[in-house]
Amino acid sequence: MVIVLAKLLLAYLLGSLSGSLLVGGLRGIDIRTQGSGNAGGTNALRVAGWRFALAVVIIDVGKGALAALLGDVAWASTPASSLSPQLLSCLCAFAAVVGHCWPVFFGFRGGKGAGTAVGAVLVLAPWIAVAMVATWLAAIVCWRYVGLATILAGLAFPLLVWLASAFVHPQTTALLMFAIAIAVLLVFTHRSNLVRMRNGVEPQIGRKPTSAS
């Protein structure tokens, strides 16, 4: 159990290494004070351009992947955990997403978790990650809201796991529980986007936001 807790703590600390705040620190920029105030890839793109945003996405996706891999790593000279490797990978991945949203190194003010979650899913279930990205792109094309697209991709995650289990190959309960937890978390972290959409002031790709009536 000590090893499990150590891995979860390490995964959380890894998730706390916010890409936008690390890269922004090198450039003297804190994007939490600009744009939407979110420390994520979308705001990084709006505030500092595509090169900055690309570096942010690479870090945020990469740490999610590393956290998922961490759960499957056997530490030398330690007894095996009673948890299955995939369950531990899912727990570490979720800890990293939580760390991204509430990073201990940056005053618990981070991003919304989508990039880190995608990185984890790329390790845990690559084809499901591809389907989630396809869902996100389709939603962008239809509605042009990045926040809405992210929420829909997150909600699609548990559905895709269920469909994969029913028609392709049985998936673990751990992956399904991880998918549900990520879906709930993404809705929660994007609740301000939903409020702005309701008020008609949420930015759309290619369109200027309008004032709330």
* Model pLDDT for residues 11-40, shown as the tens digit of each residue: 999 999 999 999 998 888 889 998 888 888
Q: How confident is the model at residue 55 (pLDDT cuts 50, 70, 90)?
A: very high
- pTM here is 0.91
Q: Which residues are CB-contacts of 149 (< 8 A; sequence separation ≥ 6)? A: 135, 136, 137, 139, 140, 143
User: Could you give the CA distance from residue 132 to residue 151 in angstroms, rounded to a whole number?
Assistant: 11
Tell me: pLDDT of 168 over 50: yes
The rounded distance, in Å, linking the Cα atoms of 191 and 8 is 26
Contact present, 120 and 67 (Cβ < 8 Å): yes
Predicted local confidence at residue 144, as pLDDT: 94
The burial of 165, by beta-carbon neighbours within 10 Å (0-12 exposed, 13-18 middle, 19 or more buried), is given as middle
Query: pLDDT confidence of 80, banded at 50, 70, 90?
Result: low
What confidence tens digit (pLDDT) does each residue in 182-200 have?
999 999 999 999 999 999 9
